[in-house]
Structure 1
Amino acid sequence: MKPKVCMISRRVDHSAPLTGLFLVLVAMLLLAMPGHAQQSDEKIIKSHGYSTFGELKYPADFKHLDYVNPDAPKGGDMSIWAEGTFDNFTPISRKGRSGALALTLMVERLMTSTSDEAGADYGLIAESLEYPESQDWVIFNLRPEARFSDGTPVTAEDVKFTFDLLMEQAYIDYRVAISKLVESAEVLGPHRVKFTFRPDVPRDGLISQMGSNPVMSKAWFEKTGARLDEASLTPIMGTGPYLLDSYDINRQIVYRRNPDYWGKDLPINKGRFNFDTIRVQYYSDNTPALLGFQRGEYTFREEGSSKIWATGYDFPQVSKGFVKKAELPDGNLPEASGFVFNLLRDKFQDIRVRQAIALMYNFEWTNETLQYGLFEHRNSFWENSDLGATGVPEGAELELLKSLGDLIDPALLTDPVVMAPTSGKRQLDRGNLAKADALLNEAGWRAGSDGVRVNDSGTVLSLEFLTDDTDIERIVSPFIDNLRVLGIKAVLNRVDPSQYTNLIRGKDYDMIAASYYTNLVPGLGMQQRFGSADAVASHFNPASFADPAADILIDKLVAARSRDEFKVATRALDRLMRAKLFVIPTWYKSNSWVAYFDQYEHPDVLPPYDLGYLDVWWYNAEKGEKLKAAGAFR
């Protein structure tokens, strides 16, 4: 199931100032600081990076990341596609649709993650960080050479201003979450900024959260009067490696590499940001986008449609060798994709209703008939890893679940973990239909003389599946047909992208195709995605799932200080959430499908957590000229 901003690197967030890739190990250089030693006996840790467990892979004096070509040539154009429309370059605004990559390419953060090390963040705008063993606060020391795109220096005032701006104008769920964690932000000097955490909250993940803060120019905002919560076609001034070059509303965006980018020689950036321009072509949906690729209107495509991957690449550019088609390894956790119930709807509060509806989705028939047998059935929120729950709980996982007492169904302690329903080779599995019929009858939804389900109040059991995606429409239609046979008044409603965005933000839907994101290491983001406190408001929690037992397990997960502790808490949470069935699990794949005009090259070994085509790939000018001479681009 592809994301709503289509075919752009899944490791890049196009809409909000969140997070880095995935987390795993930390090295701490202990350094006593006299100024703080007078106030406390705590050791002050100073480091070039931070992680949840262990030691950092890269030492303070590393020369470049292992997965880059440090001598990669600069130049050329990388062009990709995006679905739908855009009308602004303010990614944090709740109004309109922001242009793809608007935040990612032009705005940087205090720290940055790597694509080969889960759990690690290294200094970017911040040269180093300091914090006590208690992690009650963190100080970021900024690089004196850091510059905004207009050449003005980055200061601690800019960092604090950006934080204050986010707390005033960013998404409400972000503001509420962070306000519970951070007590204050203060400027200690021109290049030193301190964040102090509230005394009554767990410390785990707070330093990483503050390191992920973007940094924007205070002077620019004061001069322009711009707001984060107002849509604007003027891009936010940041420190990133690219600038906005040009745009054509709803058709194209071009970003140009900044030749004066301040960070181009940093070890963390060696061999990266190699393209002179990154171009985004917009299309209404996948069908015209594929035609555009065949014509060479853009040159790199990450494929999300099994039908197109199986049947759509028989055009001349492929047969002539102009376009390469490849399956590349993907070490990320698959997105926890599926058909998501809106639990704010009263009709979905009874789990028997959700179970009955889930029985009507036939993965086996869908995969073989409509998806060319290319997918596997997803069960776990941590699929394709050792973090997913299996069988019956044992050992430390069982003890953790027992500690939840009456907050959980006792069956969680004794029954095997919930697996997605399996179906037969026909679209409508009669055995599952009978089970679903019994469940709805038990729940008080009985079929009337016309076959439509109603309750004792005469309310019809209806379900609207909302989408703006033609590919999803094709897959979901048989599911809707099966629901109608069951007696549910089911409809599939495809709307335009702008309307879809507004409805999603307002949580005005019964069911959508969506994804939840999980991590390979602890992270505070779990509370925004699955926690009760922000369940109604959070757009990262499309089901508005909330459960007190899950809240406890999330706290255990975030607080884990070892890999074993994290694994136990994660498996318990996975077991609980699968039993709650707020998402009907659909499909996943463990590799990436890509097609591109044969003018690009990449390191021999790609990093496990990102394809890196916007980052560490490069343009081969000789190959590009040969393609042009051969007429590869129509």
Structure 2
Amino acid sequence: MRNFCRNVKPGLAASLLTAAFLLFPPAGNAEDQPVWRHGTSSIGEPKYKQGFARFDYVNPDAPKGGELRLSENGTFDTFNPILSKGEAASGVTSLVFDTLLKSAEDEITTAYGLLAEGVSYPDDISSASFRLRAEAKWADGKPVTPEDVVFSFEMVKQYNPLLSNYYRHVTSAEKTGERDVTFHFDEKNNHELPNILGQFPILPKHWWEGEDTQGKKRDISQTTLEPVMGSGPYKIASFQAGGSIRFELRDDYWAKNLNVNVGQYNFGVISYGFYGDRNVQFEAFRSGNVDFYQDNSASHWATAYDFPAMKDGRVIREEIENPLRATGIMQALVPNMRREKFKDPRVREALNYAFDFEDLNRNLAYNAYKRVDSYFWGTELASSALPEGREKAILEELKDKVPPEVFTTPYTNPVNGEPQKVRENLRKALDLFKEAGYELKGNRLVNAKTGEPFGFELLLSNPSFERTVMPFINSVKRIGIDARIRTVDDSQYTNRVRSFDYDMIYGIWAQTLVPGNEQLDYWGSSSVNQQGSRNYAGISDPAIDELIRKVIFAPNREELIATTRALDRVLLAHHFVVPLFYSKSVRVAYWNQLAHLKELPYYSTGFPDSWWSKNATPK
């Protein structure tokens, strides 16, 4: 389950709902009354009881004010928060718009009421109802209504393929009371559906159906650079198209004192600058024009922080493990199986033998990374060794549909790093290509029947990735593959990935500890031709589809773990990707006018919501 509404939020809102607490005491016959829950949790009961004052990880006395200057790589051309086309502006969805529920960052996939004061659903989970807060208001003072929720959901399903697939089992939404809206499902006992409905941005129907300042009727199906209106804590105060955005904290924000918001949204201004190059972006941070920088390069982290502000303490560096405590990572080179050349699993496996992780990690990353060997790497959901117990029983139910090696051979990545091992693995790669119908002619790898050379283009969105993938490109060239790198601008990259117009990309999937409906979007057959889906590899496999359904409908935690490990094992056995590497901590640097509590949220950096500026005025 993924949170689509809060940018870079580990501890994403949840699935597998369990009993929470009554928001309103029932009157009359309890069987006739809905049970309104103030929060939902995937594992056990929600930590925070009905009427809680605030989250534990916030500073309720944090001063309000000051400016947070952030940077983004790339550009933007729209403020529309739901559209799947264009380059969406950073911060708009998370700062301008509220959602029905809000995630807690010190619990595993648990959410509490934001726009909605309660959620209710029947025992068979054939529907879910949300009751809006009477005090919820748009920035223009008008109330948030069930009609707004219905409108938002219908627009999301119509104009965003990714979210349409995510909510594919939600058939309709309707107003069922003065402040109530009910969603109907086409299947029962999908425990995740009520919770993930708390995640999409709620839009003001009257604003989108109205006219702009020029008297032109607005069109939600199109990109727009008109500052959009929401019910959230910030408003768009100013911008330069493609270059910068300035958000200002709304003093009249309806939920500024709500328990889920206490101690948060502390910056008076949050501004974003957009940069076309990561080096220029870092220079802006180093020179003091940007306040916060997340560094994703181990070598850069090790070598680039010798400037005066770092030495005298004005810049602080931290490596924070919190966001990855509940996040499984698969970062990989992803061949597109919609291309005929990548359909044979032996071809894909051969490419993995040509990837020398050990040399890259030693020479480019200061040995800072670990090789990824699971689609749920770093969590208890990752498969290992040979299947046993319930996991083995699940796989045996699909014995004729899964690769036989899932029962006999634990998945491991090839080990390189030494000249002899490199030579042996390249020979193994050539053997696999030969089995798949290829042969070396001179110094070129060609199809033995057609004579067509084997080659591919690796599509990138950022020049900074080139240094990482170039050793792989050089390695496959040694076995006669015509491999090339093509780096394009963000807009072109986004459009090509949405339409699956690539041979190979550098991809990443982040998993929660409670996987669910998003697995359909990652590797389900229903998403293979759904433009905008994250089925980047083009996976369409009946056994994987069945395992995804077992994950979604797992009745308890033990079954979920066993089923997810089985899914992981089958995905690995098909060699859909060339696994790369990752770190178990997030590296951040920031100027010392920013502050946070000593104890960050257990599953998050808490940035920027619960941080504050020392330049702000205390209460």
CA contact (8 A) 1:27 1:49 kept: no
% identical aligned pairs = 35
- Indicate how the Cα distance of structure 1 residues 35 and 164 shifts in structure 2: closer, same or farther if over 3 A, else same: farther
Local SS of the residue matching 1:344: coil
CA contact (8 A) 1:45 1:133 kept: no
Instruction: Tell me, in whole angstroms, the C-alpha distance in 1 between the residues paired with 2:89 and 2:559.
Output: 40
* Length, aligned pairs only: 609
- Indicate how the Cα distance of structure 1 residues 339 and 19 shifts in structure 2: closer, same or farther if over 3 A, else same: same
- Per the alignment, residue 156 of structure 1 pairs with 146
CA contact (8 A) 1:31 1:44 kept: no
CA contact (8 A) 1:25 1:56 kept: no
Please give the residue correspondences for 1:230-629 in structure 2 after superposition, counting only pairs within 5 Å.
Answer: 230-330=222-322, 331-416=325-410, 418-426=411-419, 429-537=422-530, 538-621=532-615
Instruction: Tell me, in whole angstroms, the C-alpha distance in 2 between the residues paired with 1:279 and 1:16.
Output: 17
Instruction: Tell me, in whole angstroms, the C-alpha distance in 2 between the residues paired with 1:483 and 1:134.
Output: 53
CA contact (8 A) 1:57 1:117 kept: yes
Instruction: Tell me, in whole angstroms, the C-alpha distance in 2 between the residues paired with 1:17 and 1:308.
Output: 24
1:127 CA drift (Å): 0.4
- Per the alignment, residue 185 of structure 1 pairs with 173
Deviations 1:116-138 (A, max 9, x none): 11121211100011221111121
- Indicate how the Cα distance of structure 1 residues 290 and 430 shifts in structure 2: closer, same or farther if over 3 A, else same: same
Local SS of the residue matching 2:444: coil
- Per the alignment, residue 214 of structure 2 pairs with none
CA contact (8 A) 2:456 2:483 kept: yes
1:307 CA drift (Å): 1.8
What TM-score comes out, normalization by structure 1 length?
0.91
- Indicate how the Cα distance of structure 1 residues 594 and 32 shifts in structure 2: closer, same or farther if over 3 A, else same: closer
Runs of 4+ displaced beyond 4 Å? 10-19, 21-25, 30-38
Deviations 1:229-254 (A, max 9, x none): 31100133211111111111232111
1:208 aligns with 2:208: no
1:355 CA drift (Å): 0.9
Instruction: Tell me, in whole angstroms, the C-alpha distance in 1 between the residues paired with 2:433 and 2:124.
Output: 52
1:415 CA drift (Å): 2.1
Instruction: Tell me, in whole angstroms, the C-alpha distance in 2 between the residues paired with 1:194 and 1:427.
Output: 64
Unmatched 5+ residue regions in structure 1? 1-9, 625-634
- Greater shift, 427-436 or 113-122, is seen at 427-436
Instruction: Tell me, in whole angstroms, the C-alpha distance in 1 between the residues paired with 2:321 and 2:442.
Output: 53
Instruction: Tell me, in whole angstroms, the C-alpha distance in 2 between the residues paired with 1:145 and 1:227.
Output: 28
CA contact (8 A) 2:329 2:378 kept: no
Letter in 2 for 1:472: F
- Greater shift, 15-24 or 495-504, is seen at 15-24
- Per the alignment, residue 160 of structure 2 pairs with 171
Letter in 2 for 1:278: I
- Greater shift, 390-399 or 406-415, is seen at 406-415
Please give the residue correspondences for 1:57-76 in structure 2 after superposition, counting only pairs within 5 Å.
Answer: 57-76=47-66
Deviations 1:591-625 (A, max 9, x none): 1111111111111211122211211011112899x
CA contact (8 A) 1:332 1:608 kept: no
1:157 CA drift (Å): 1.2
1:552 CA drift (Å): 1.3
Instruction: Tell me, in whole angstroms, the C-alpha distance in 2 between the residues paired with 1:544 and 1:574.
Output: 16
- Per the alignment, residue 221 of structure 1 pairs with 208
- Per the alignment, residue 7 of structure 1 pairs with none
1:11 CA drift (Å): 7.8
Instruction: Tell me, in whole angstroms, the C-alpha distance in 2 between the residues paired with 1:106 and 1:31.
Output: 27
- Per the alignment, residue 629 of structure 1 pairs with none
CA RMSD of aligned residues (A): 2.6
Unmatched 5+ residue regions in structure 2? 212-216
1:32 CA drift (Å): 10
CA contact (8 A) 1:17 1:92 kept: no
- Greater shift, 19-28 or 305-314, is seen at 19-28
- Greater shift, 144-153 or 334-343, is seen at 334-343
What TM-score comes out, normalization by structure 2 length?
0.93
Instruction: Tell me, in whole angstroms, the C-alpha distance in 1 between the residues paired with 2:428 and 2:445.
Output: 17
CA contact (8 A) 2:249 2:269 kept: yes
Deviations 1:316-367 (A, max 9, x none): 1111211111112222324311111111111111011001111111111001
